[in-house]
Chain A
Amino acid sequence: MRLFKTLLVSSLLFAAFTFLLFQSMAQEKVNIVFYQTGYDPETYTVQYVDTTLPLAGEYSVQGDNVTVLTVEGRHGGHFRTSLRAVRLVGVFNTSDDVEVELHPKVGMPWGVLLGVVLSGGVFGYAFRVLGFE
C-alpha cells in the first residue's frame, strides 16, 4: 500500500468513526419518572428533580406539565443549554406516575467529516508531490 492510500484510508476510517459517534450520541435520551405517592383533588404536588445530561446542546422535552430550569433560564418543551445540569419541575394532580423524556438534537457535522476526508487526501497528495514515494 502506498502512503497516499494509507492517509486516505486513515481519514476515511476516522470520518466513519466520527459519524458513528454522532449517531450514537443522538440516541442517548434521558428518562425521568416522577413517582406519585397519593392523589388528593384539593392539593397539587410539586416535584423537582436534579439531573445531569450526557451532552450539552439542544433538547426537546416529551411530557406535559414540566418546566426545565437551566443556567440560561426557564424553558418549556424545547431548550438549549451549555451546562449539562438541569432541574425538571413538575406540577401534578394525578395518581399515575409521570414519565418525562429528554431527546437530544444532535446535528451531523458534515463539514467536519468532509474536512477530515479532504485533509487525508491533501496530505496524502503532499507525500506524492514532495517525492517521498
Chain B
Amino acid sequence: MKPVGVEISSKRSLLAVMILLPLIIAGSAWYVMSEPISVGVTQRSFMTPPDQLNASLHRTLEGLGDFFYRVSDVQKDIFTKGLRVLLLGVFIGVTLVSSLILIRPLSDGTMAFEIGLVRDKKRVLLYRTAPIIVYSAYVSIILALFAYSVFPLKAGLPFDFDKGLWLFVVLFLSGMWGVTLTALVGFYTCEPAYPVIVSFLVSLTSFTGAGDLFFPYYRLLNALWVDVKLLNTWSIAGLGLLFVSAFIALHKFERGEYY
C-alpha cells in the first residue's frame, strides 16, 4: 500500500492548509485580543498652593478603584475571547484537514481501492487517522507555546507551566473532537463538505447554552485551571460524546460497503 504521506505530499492545497493553519489560528487570536480597551481616557486637574500640596494629593485617588475594576473586566473578556478562538480554531482546522485526508479518499474511491488491497478496514482507517492525530498534537503544542508567551502580555494573568500543559491537553482534545466528528459525519454522508459544515454549526452552538454539550472544552479548561466543580453534567456528557462518536464512526466504517 502506498504510504499516506506520499498522497498528502502530492496535494498542494492540503500542504498549504497544513503549513498555514497554526499561523491563521494564532493570527486571529492575536487580532481578537489586540483591540484597544475603550474605557475612556479622562484628564482632570486642580490648583493648589505649595504648602497644601501634600494634603491635597489624596484627591488624585478619586475614582481610581472604579477605573481599575472596569479595565480588569475588559481584560477578562479579552482572555476569554483569545482562548475561545484558539479552541475553536483547532477544532475547525483539524476538521478541515481530516475531512481532506479521511473523507475525500472515501468519496473518490481511493479508500475502497486500499481496502481491497489490504483486506483490513481497521488498519486502513488507523493508517489514515494516525497522521492527523500527530498533526493536531503538533498544532496544539505550538499554539500552547504561543499562548504561554503572548497571553500574559495581553491579559496580564500569570501563566505558569502547568496551565500551559493543561492548555495543550485541552487543545489536543478539541482537535480529537474534530477528528471523531468528521469521521462520524463523513462515514454516513461520504462527502468531505458535510463535516466542515457541521463543525461550523457546532462552533456556533458553543456561543449558546448548547455549547456545554457540543463543545465543552472551554469549560473543561476552566475546570482544569480553577476548580473541577465547574464541570456540570452536560459538559461531562459532552466529553462522553467524543468517545461515543468515535465508537459509532468505527462501527459504521466496519459495517460499510465500499466499491
Contacts and interface: CB of A to CB of B under 8 A. Distances in A.
Given A2-B9, A51-B41, A11 B154 contact: no
Given A3-B131, A50-B42, A132-B3, A119 B36 contact: no
Contacts of A112: 145-146, 148-149
A9 B9 contact: no
A40 B145 CA distance: 56
A102 B130 CA distance: 50
Contacts of B27: 17
B60 interface: yes
B64 interface: yes
A84 B71 contact: yes
Interface size class of A (residues with CB under 8 A): 35 or more
Given A50-B41, A56-B153, A120-B142, A43 B5 contact: no
A40 B46 CA distance: 13
Given A17-B26, A51-B41, A44 B47 contact: yes
A84 B75 contact: yes
Contact of B154 (A14, A55, A109, A119): A55
Contacts of B53: 44, 46, 91
Contacts of B3: 131-133
Nearest to B16: A6
A87 B39 CA distance: 13
Interface string A12-36: 0110011001100100000000100
B57 A46 contact: yes
Contacts of B6: 133
A50 to B, nearest CB: 5
B155 interface: yes
A2 B5 CA distance: 7
Contacts of A133: 3, 5-6, 9
Given A1-B9, A48-B60, A83-B72, A132 B130 contact: yes
A115 B45 CA distance: 49
Interface in B68-93: 68, 71-72, 75
A82 interface: yes
Contacts of B30: 21
B64 A69 contact: yes
Contact of B15 (A6, A17, A34): A6
B206 to A, nearest CB: 25
B8 interface: yes
B67 interface: yes
Contact of A14 (B5, B22, B49, B135): B22
B71 A42 contact: no
B117 interface: no
14 contacts: A3-B5, A3-B8, A7-B138, A21-B30, A46-B46, A46-B48, A48-B44, A49-B42, A57-B152, A83-B72, A84-B75, A119-B138, A120-B142, A130-B134
Closest 3 CB pairs of A and B: A133-B5, A56-B156, A85-B71
Interface of A: 1-3, 6-7, 9-11, 13-14, 17-18, 21-22, 25, 34, 40, 42-52, 54-57, 69, 71, 81-85, 87, 89, 91, 106, 109, 112, 115-116, 119-120, 123, 126-127, 130-133
